[in-house]
């Protein structure tokens, strides 16, 4: 029997419970995984609280990322076999699959063979963050060598991935963080410049760093009142990528948009993960970065599966640096 996290109504972390149930044989194009580690993501707190782009069907499961060992494969599965070490890429609905459990079913399209340089915990911390940043910076923004990229929420797992990816591309990452508390950690992740937005003048600092020329790429999950300041510090024809809404409302001032001819667009990792060719290219690019040492997931803290409620509370407290992991 498996231990699987589920919930029966939307709400806070306390709605999560561990059910003991039988996980059946994998169907067509599915695999069954004995999970070793699970990566937690902001999307899962939004789904649990009824604020995600799809609403839960109860009893609801959740979880985009896991790493473990293949226990069984269903009909039609190729290139993945029983005993293989694997990790899971987010390319499915929570209403179809959930990775919060010690045994789970997953679509084979979401399964990647385990990168040999990583532990199971690191592999569970990998794909959501790195494919999110890859999709935006490599795919959408086409960030290039020598360009400045501003990265708000730099201490998040996606922020750290974005810093490392920017460095791999030869760009110059400017990390934003609310206070100086995490400055040394962000610097150790590879940020070329760090601005504490509650302690420094954001626009003036960005002008200093770029010698008044402005930043070419803005990669923002926050929005809110800071967004207008970022546009003020943007270079002509800068690419502004929005991938979250941590702070609302967000006002877009017209003047810098049309006078600088800014391009503002959204980015979501599903653009890459739901496209087999793009996903293959993204996994290859990230794997090469892992092998070279340019990319390395950062784990903040681990919780046992039995403490999933506390793990979600910690995630929502926004105190972490890097990824929160649940271990089995």
Residue 99 lies in a domain: yes
Q: What is the DSSP string of 63-124?
A: -SEEEEEEEEE-TT--S--TT-EEEE-S-S-TTT----BSEEEEEGGGEEEPPTTS-HHHHH
Domain assignment present for 264 = yes
Residues 258 and 245 in one domain: yes
174 and 305 housed in the same domain: no
Does residue 138 share a domain with residue 220?
Answer: yes
Whether residue 282 lies inside any domain: the answer is no
What CATH number does residue 57 fall under? 3.90.180.10
Would 118 be classed as within a structural domain? yes
Q: Do 216 and 317 lie in a common domain?
A: no
Q: Which pTM was predicted?
A: 0.96
Q: Which CATH number goes with the domain that contains 145?
A: 3.40.50.720
* pLDDT per residue as tens, the chain (328 positions): 999 999 999 999 999 999 999 999 999 999 999 999 999 999 999 999 999 999 999 999 999 999 999 999 999 999 999 999 999 999 999 999 999 999 999 999 999 999 989 999 999 999 999 999 999 999 999 999 999 999 999 999 999 999 999 999 999 999 999 999 999 999 999 999 999 999 999 999 999 999 999 999 999 999 999 999 999 999 999 999 999 877 778 888 999 999 999 999 999 999 999 999 999 999 999 999 999 999 999 999 999 999 999 999 999 998 899 999 999 9
For the chain, the domain total comes to 2
**Do residues 103 and 20 touch, judged by C-beta distance below 8 A?**
no
Domain identity same for 58 and 162: no
C-alpha span between 159 and 129 (Å, rounded): 8
Residue 292 lies in a domain: no
Is position 160 within any domain? yes
Radius of gyration of the chain measured on its C-alpha atoms: 20
Which tokens belong to 298? Answer: 């950062």
Q: Are residues 136 and 254 in the same domain?
A: yes
Give yes or no: residues 148 and 261 share one domain.
Answer: yes
The pLDDT value given to residue 314: 98
Which two structure tokens, joined as six digits, stand for 243? Answer: 């991938």
Give residue 305's domain range.
2-126+297-327
The answer to whether residue 255 sits within a structural domain is yes
Q: Please indicate, yes or no, if residue 159 is contained in any of the structural domains.
A: yes
Q: Are residues 139 and 257 in the same domain?
A: yes
Is the same domain home to 118 and 139? no
Instruction: Tell me: do 139 and 261 sit in the same domain.
Output: yes
Q: Are residues 173 and 251 in the same domain?
A: yes
Q: What is the largest CA-CA distance in the chain?
A: 62
Cβ atoms of residues 66 and 37 within 8 Å: yes
Q: Are residues 263 and 149 in the same domain?
A: yes
DSSP state of 57: P
223 contacts: CB under 8 Å, gap ≥ 6: 242, 244, 245, 246, 247, 248, 249, 250
Distance CA 31, CA 110 (A): 10
Query: Buried (b) or exposed (e) across 292-323, using 16+ Cβ within 10 A?
Result: eeebbbbbbebbebeebbebbebbeeeebbbb
């Amino acid at each position: 029997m498996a231990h699987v996290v589920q919930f029966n109504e939307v709400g806070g972390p306390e709605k999560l419970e561990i059910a003991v149930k039988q996980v059946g044989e994998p169907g067509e194009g599915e695999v069954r995984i004995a999970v070793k580690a699970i990566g937690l993501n902001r999307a899962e707190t939004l789904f649990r609280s009824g604020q995600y782009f799809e609403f839960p069907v109860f009893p609801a499961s959740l979880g985009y990322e896991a790493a473990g060992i293949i226990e069984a494969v269903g009909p039609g599965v190729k290139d993945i076999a029983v005993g293989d070490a694997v990790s899971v890429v987010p390319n499915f609905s929570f209403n179809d699959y959930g990775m919060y459990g010690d045994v789970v079913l997953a679509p084979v399209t979401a399964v990647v063979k385990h990168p040999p340089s990583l532990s199971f915990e690191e592999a569970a911390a990998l794909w959501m963050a790195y494919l999110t940043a890859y999709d935006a910076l490599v795919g959408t923004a086409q960030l290039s060598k020598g360009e400045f990229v501003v990265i708000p929420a730099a201490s998040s797992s996606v922020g750290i991935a974005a810093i490392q990816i920017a460095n791999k591309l030869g760009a110059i990452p400017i990390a934003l963080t609310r206070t100086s508390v995490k400055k040394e950690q962000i610097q150790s992740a590879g940020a070329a410049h760090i601005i504490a937005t509650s302690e420094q003048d954001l626009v003036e600092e960005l002008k200093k760093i770029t010698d008044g020329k402005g930043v070419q790429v803005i990669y923002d999950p926050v929005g809110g009142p800071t967004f207008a300041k970022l546009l003020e510090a943007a270079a002509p024809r800068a690419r502004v990528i929005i991938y979250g809404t941590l702070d609302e409302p967000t006002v877009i001032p017209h003047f810098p948009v049309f006078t600088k001819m800014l391009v503002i667009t959204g980015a979501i990792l599903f653009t890459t993960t739901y496209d087999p060719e793009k996903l293959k290219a993204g996994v290859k690019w990230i794997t090469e970065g892992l092998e070279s040492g340019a990319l390395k997931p950062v784990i903040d803290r681990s919780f046992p599966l039995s403490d999933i409620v506390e793990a979600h509370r910690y995630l929502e407290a926004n105190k972490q640096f890097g990824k929160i992991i649940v271990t089995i």
